[in-house]
Amino acid sequence: MQQADEKLAGYLKRLDEGDADEDKAGTSGGSSHGDPRLAEKIAAVRGRRERRQALLEELDRTGEDQISLTDPDSRAMARMTKVGVGYNVQVAVDTKHKLIVEQQVHSQVVDMGLLATTAKAAIQALDVEKIEAVADRGYFKIEDIEACETAGITPYVPKPVRGSSVREGFFPKEAFRYDPGTDTFICPGGQTLRPCRRGRSRENVKIDYSNREACLACPLRSRCTKSYRHVSRLENEAVLDRMAARLAARPEVLGQRRSSVEHPFGSIKQWMNQGAFLMRRLENVRGEFSLTALAYNIRRAISLIGVPGLIAAAKA
């Protein structure tokens, strides 16, 4: 819309200059310096601007942040180093056999918040009481991880390295050791940071820890903060501490995730030549991928136990 306004301003300026030239020459009936199709161009730009204004009003009305003109349910999502318009496919894969245990298709752009939903459905599909769920750092969300533990799911999700301190090259939060016995942090300089402020962070209570006096005299201050450092901790952050301890004890599970959950996607895209959905609208795409997952599992089962074994299992 801003570009349209700028283009319109340019066209109108040209019209004004053409009128001025006509006045000086004392002529009428159109300027020889003007573009005879200028009025058409102005009408076209105004039409495009009005359509974009209508789209903007639709975004305000629905609260969405995107509108897809090809498929109303699809969204622009990061795909490797590019951005593609499509859907977010979630799969839970059995690490032993690389079978798809659970699959879901979403319009949600990011994976954050989808771990517990997918893992709970996998528990029901497997008819077990407990499972271990390994996911990449894009699923890191404390509410989701806590929901997994409550449902009998042991989550393994690496913590993403983010935050203003990391961006500015200061010590990350991981360099500060939390002592649950005293509810304090020990900073890289060996000083104690105590609770100084409580507030809310989305759905959780957040507690800030600091020690201003120690920061002012600390020799590591230039590597830690511009003024004085405070470290935040959520009231239920013990769930993240437990998961960090599990990951430290079993770092190999992250590599196991890559070799298992990526197997179905590679097979579906390369062997089955399904690099894109054929259907549009969310419910149709869900039906399409459900059939795709079924076909993949049948092919995988044949590879594992052969056709006779699959027939025998179907009869059982």
Q: What is the CATH number of the domain that holds 119?
A: 3.30.420
Ranges of residues in the chain with a pLDDT under 70 are: 18-36, 80
Same domain, 79 and 152: yes
Same domain, 154 and 266: yes
14/81 Cα distance (integer angstroms): 42
Same domain, 113 and 258: yes
Measured between its terminal Cα atoms, the distance across the chain in Å is: 64
Has residue 291 been placed in a domain? yes
Query: Which of residues 215, 236, 257 is at a domain's end?
Result: 236
Amino acid at 288: E
156-188 burial, b for 16+ CB within 10 Å, e for fewer? Answer: bbbeeeeeebeeeebbebebbebeeeeebbebe
Q: What is the reported pLDDT for 32?
A: 42
Amino acid at 126: L
Has residue 182 been placed in a domain? yes
Same domain, 176 and 154: no
Same domain, 221 and 180: yes
Same domain, 95 and 40: no
Angle at 100 between CA 268 and CA 159, to 5 degrees: 95
Same domain, 186 and 229: yes
Query: Which of residues 41, 62, 83 is at a domain's end?
Result: 62
Structural domain span for residue 57: 2-62
Has residue 69 been placed in a domain? no
Q: What is the reported pLDDT for 35?
A: 62
184 Cβ neighbours under 8 A, 6+ residues apart: 178, 192, 193, 194, 195, 209
Q: What is the reported pLDDT for 66?
A: 87
Number of domains in the chain: 3
Same domain, 137 and 256: yes
Q: What is the reported pLDDT for 21?
A: 63
Q: Are 196 and 208 in contact (CB under 8 A)?
A: yes
Has residue 173 been placed in a domain? yes
Same domain, 279 and 141: yes
Q: What is the reported pLDDT for 15?
A: 77
Q: What is the reported pLDDT for 24?
A: 64
Has residue 220 been placed in a domain? yes
Has residue 68 been placed in a domain? no
Query: Which of 37, 49, 3 lies closest to 14, judged by CA?
Result: 37
Has residue 256 been placed in a domain? yes
